[in-house]
Structure 1
């Protein structure tokens, strides 16, 4: 499956008093990019919720290389690197002008929303993952 890229601009609300992006906001950018990756494939978080499914972060490993700053234009990439019956592993990267700022490995689990127990991918998402 090819990589997907989502553009993000850094706003004042994303930064500390020095105009540098607060570290947790990179995770928010990555979450948005994964949601847009789903949308590109005809799925939405709300649509999954409506069927009793939630996608939750199971594991995250992140490495910060350089800071993003106020008004920077960032690219946030999403690439599926592994999958199982109810788990997806993504490699995600935040870059500015092609320069890596933050790298992450993110494992997402598919769970039934009321019991929060792992379940197999719903048919529509399973089809996307097979392509």
Structure 2
């Protein structure tokens, strides 16, 4: 079965031509990947381990070390919870215009396909750089 054969309710739930919007193929896959990244473990009662711990980094400064940790967290969550995607690379790119904003750039391929794709998810931290001394 190819990724284009998969369809499901769109996320977030909305209306389309029928009673509910339907997502197919890579749109559905990318919606599922976003859902993994934006769900914190413990939010789903019946699947307490599902999700990604991105929120653990909200109060961290945007540094190269934090970028490595964020990339590892994103890769691990997607590999654990989205078997339809093969994650090739995760880059954490600070936004030069907005302090504390990073773009999580996930290079992936739908499993069984050779075409590389990219998913970009914005992530806002509360801090833009290393903490400065007080006083």
TM normalised by structure 2 equals 0.33
**Structure with more of its chain in strand, by fraction:** 1
TM normalised by structure 1 equals 0.33
Higher relative contact order, structure no. (Cα contacts within 8 Å, ≥ 6 residues apart): 1
